[in-house]
Amino acid sequence: MEKNKIFLVLLIAIGTFLLVYTPHYNYPFPSHADEWHHITETIRLETGGYSGKSIGLRLGFHILLLPLSKVVNLVLIYKFLPAIWAVLCVLVVFFTVYRKTKKDFFTAAMAMFFFASIKSNVNITGLWFFTPLTFSIPFIFLYIYFFTEGLERENKKLVLLSLLIMAFLLPIHAISVLFAFPFLIIHSLFNFRYIKKEGKLFSLFFIIPLMGVVFYKFMMQLPWQDLINNMVQALQFKRGWGKLEINNSPSELYSLIGYILLIPGVASILKNRDNFKKYLVYLLWPVCVLLSIFIFRSSGVSYLVPYQRNLYYFAISLPLLSAIGASCLFKGISRFSKKAAYIFITIIIISAFWSYWRIPDQIALYEAIDDNDYRALLFLSSLTQASVVMAPAGTSEALYPVARKNPVATYAFYGNRKDSENFFNSDDCKIKEEILGKYGVRYVLTKSKINCGWKLIYDKGDYIYEAK
């Protein structure tokens, strides 16, 4: 590849870093409850008290974060992780598209742009947050690429590489493997002759569900007789699974211009038999995910994968198709005017990012803690005895990661948020005392003074009381 092309790829990667880092230009802490949760579990993995059960189904992610937590402060370094990982994601997108299109640099570069333009929000998450979902993204592109290329080229090594990536992802984010089963199975039927010929090789893929079953049993601590029924129930994600479920619009994650360019992209694939075979899996991917979304909206149940995750899997399936559409139109316009073609591409890129930061208020970013909260939490960390702390749900997200103290409740995952809200909403000291006694609370962290006779031990922006 020529140096100028390498430079452009690196430039797009740097631009992606700066784009994804935007939520943290003025905010130095993790920006999602899931991120605080994974920091908490990583620390607990080392110090003891790992939650296990359903939380343990992300054990692999916490194991990967553990070495990092030993050399840096995860709370302060976490803001860089989404942007760093986004760079890896766009580079993998470039690699897979470049190879799939037989070194079509223009299409691969456009796929990078469209992928970087996918939006993020607190409901569906995305590149702005470093979670098991975003960690899995480059591996999703890789195992789909290697699996399909292995079938088409009849290359055992590529098939095995795909299998290894899937196995690696299982303890990190199993649904990032599960969601692909339907369209990979359908794609396999078009290559049944080779699969039949290499039956022993493809029988190894039964290891994936077997590993999943064993891992699920181990983490959930279930007896064998209850395992199958429990798994069947667990893989039915009913309405209400997500903390926030809204009527999602098509533009929530992907740009209008990206959708428009799907039309020439898909048309160019369908009209050419060789292209149809080569890109079949990238047509099946969005179709199968859309079918799952339709089933959820019709029945209120999403099978194998939660509805919110399917929305994101659908979005990341589109950049290649949009890039092919852009490439077709660019080539067509170039025949008449090179200048017009480059103006056309410039308009496309600007349009793709035009509404990138436009997010509905109900799914906009929130800040769990501020600088005052962080200093108060550092003070709590200096109080060496283990204790339970009553604090607002947002501040409580950071209690264990910063202060190594257990919260009464956080936004999600831990404790009884209703009791926490009742404590701060009530002016009755007797009710407050009852709630503190229920959880054995020793310290109360609050943003405003509370006159219930407790000892004030910190008053620098936030207030910390030692309860009776």
CATH number at residue 414: 3.40.50.12610
Residues 358 and 377 both lie in one domain: no
The answer on 258 and 236 residing in a single domain is yes
| 451 and 327 within one domain | no
> Which residue range is the domain that position 169 belongs to?
3-363
Determine the pLDDT at residue 164. 96
pLDDT in the model for residue 244: 64
Residue 435's Cα: distance from chain center in Å? 35
Both 255 and 178 in a single domain? Answer: yes
Which of residues 345, 363, 381 is at a domain's end?
Answer: 363
The set of residues, in sequence order, having a beta carbon less than 8 Å from that of 60 and lying 6+ positions away, is 168, 169, 170, 171, 172, 173
Residues 169 and 194 in one domain: yes
Is residue 323 within 8 A of residue 110, CB to CB? The reply is: yes
- One domain, residues 111 and 244: yes
On whether both 61 and 168 belong to a single domain, the answer is yes
As a whole number of angstroms, the distance between CA 289 and CA 451 comes to 54
3-class SS at 333? helix
Same domain, 455 and 342: no
Kindly state the tokens that stand for 433: 């005392």
Q: How far apart are CA 394 and CA 373, in angstroms?
A: 10
DSSP state of 318: S
Q: Against a cut of 0.75, is the pTM above it?
A: yes
Q: Closest Cα partner for 80 from 29, 13, 135, 152?
A: 29
> Tokens 């493997």 map to which residue?
177
* Domain identity same for 42 and 79: yes
Say what the pLDDT of residue 245 is: 65
**Three-state DSSP class for 256?**
helix
Same domain, 187 and 229: yes
CA 408, CA 417: separation in Å to the nearest integer?
Answer: 8
- Is residue 296 located within the same domain as residue 181? yes
Q: How many domains does the chain have?
A: 2
Tokens linked to 363 = 């799914």
Instruction: Please list the alpha-helical segments (H only) found in 235-370.
Output: 256-260, 262-270, 273-299, 307-316, 319-334, 338-353
- Last residue within a domain, chosen from 344, 363, 382: 363
Helix (H, G, I), strand (E, B) or coil at 448: coil
Rounded CA-CA distance 364/249 in Å is: 15
Q: What is the pLDDT along the chain (468 residues), one digit of tens a residue?
A: 788 999 999 999 999 999 999 999 999 999 999 999 999 999 999 888 888 788 888 999 999 999 999 999 999 999 999 999 999 999 999 999 999 999 999 999 999 999 999 999 888 889 999 999 999 999 999 999 999 999 999 899 999 999 999 999 999 999 999 999 999 999 999 988 988 888 888 888 888 888 888 888 888 888 887 888 888 888 888 887 766 666 677 778 999 999 999 999 999 999 988 889 899 999 999 999 999 999 998 888 889 899 889 999 999 999 999 999 999 999 999 888 888 999 999 999 999 999 898 887 777 788 899 999 999 999 999 987 778 999 999 899 999 999 999 999 998 888 888 989 999 998 899 999 999 999 999 999 999 999 998 999 999 989 999 986
Are 439 and 293 in the same domain? no
Q: How many CA atoms within 13 Å lie on the side-chain side of 42?
A: 27
